[in-house]
């Protein structure tokens, strides 16, 4: 068991309507010294309540739950209601299929990534650590597949929001490459700059657009029409 008082422990809530699944994930996560499972929830309503009470760092959120599903729960937690002292938790969507039809909606609602329920223990641990560190859990190949599968089924993109005009030409270029599913090292190679420079550009893009992470940047790039599904950018 881990030490709940550990200074760097990642505080986690597990939300799933199946008791065995909830208990299994919680027990597995509690084997890690840098994790603390502070609560579990059987539906979205309970997940929102528990998260507001316990302020976890990461939520493992199932999509299909009774009462309030994981998408609506994710949306409510991501909005944070403007309440002082409430930090929005990072939300890791649990799904049965690699391209669950609701995953895209969950990402739009504010999730930072998704994980298959049959993932290995090590993959689960890595995913929680990645999310807790503020990164998006979408590998480049997954980004490409996800966007190509779902973006074409969405309504026509709206004109780019005014916030995009605040980006420099280089920042806009970096955003397009991120939306193409390229990693920071790949972008650095493409633009002939250092990886640290790319990280700086990505950070500035997120700050200017008021976005949480890389996943939200991808969604914004496609929904604004800045990037067209199937296109590639130099």
pLDDT tens-digit readout, 164-188: 888 999 999 999 998 887 888 889 9
- For domain 158-223, which CATH number applies: 1.10.10.10, 1.10.10.60, 3.40.50.2300, 1.10.150.120? 1.10.10.10
Topology agreement, domain 10-137 and domain 158-223: no
SS3 content of the chain, % helix, strand, coil (to 5): 50, 10, 40
Could you tell me if 181 and 135 are in contact, meaning their C-beta atoms sit under 8 angstroms apart? Answer: no
Strands 35-41 and 90-95: unpaired
Tell me: pLDDT of 65 over 80. yes
How many C-alpha atoms does 108 have within 13 Å on its Cβ side? Answer: 16
Helical (H) or strand (E) element with 124: helix 121-132
Confidence (pTM): 0.68
The 10s digit of each residue's pLDDT in 140-170 is: 555 556 656 555 565 555 555 677 888 999 9
Residues of the chain above pLDDT 70, percent:
77
| Position with higher pLDDT, 226 vs 40 | 40
Whole-number Å distance between alpha carbons of 122 and 83: 35
Biggest CA-to-CA distance, the chain: 52
Mean residue pLDDT of the chain comes to 81
Domain spans, the chain: 10-137, 158-223
**CATH homologous superfamily, domain 10-137:** Response regulator (3.40.50.2300)
Whole-number Å distance between alpha carbons of 214 and 117: 22
The 10s digit of each residue's pLDDT in 91-108 is: 998 887 655 567 677 777
Report pLDDT for 57: 94
């Amino acid at each position: 068991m881990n030490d709940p008082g550990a200074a760097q422990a990642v505080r986690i809530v597990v939300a799933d309507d199946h008791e065995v699944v909830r208990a299994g994930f919680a027990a597995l996560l509690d084997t890690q010294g840098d994790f603390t499972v502070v609560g579990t929830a059987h539906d979205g309503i309970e997940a929102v309540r528990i998260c507001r009470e316990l302020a976890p760092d990461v939520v493992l959120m199932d999509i299909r739950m009774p009462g309030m599903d994981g998408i609506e729960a994710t949306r409510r937690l991501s909005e944070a209601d403007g309440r002082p002292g409430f930090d929005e938790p990072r939300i890791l969507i649990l799904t049965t299929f690699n391209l669950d039809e609701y995953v895209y909606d969950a990402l739009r609602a504010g999730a930072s990534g998704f994980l298959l329920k049959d993932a290995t223990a090590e993959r689960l641990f890595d995913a929680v650590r990645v999310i807790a560190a503020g990164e998006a859990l979408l590998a480049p190949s997954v980004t490409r597949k996800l966007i190509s599968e779902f973006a074409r089924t969405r309504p026509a993109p709206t004109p780019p929001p005014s916030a995009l005009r605040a980006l420099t030409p280089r920042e806009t270029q970096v955003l397009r490459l991120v939306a193409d599913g390229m990693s920071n090292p790949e972008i650095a190679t493409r633009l002939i700059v250092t990886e640290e420079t790319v990280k700086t550009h990505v950070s500035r893009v997120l700050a200017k657009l008021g976005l949480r992470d890389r996943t939200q940047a991808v969604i914004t790039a496609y929904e604004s029409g800045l990037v067209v599904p199937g296109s590639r950018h130099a």
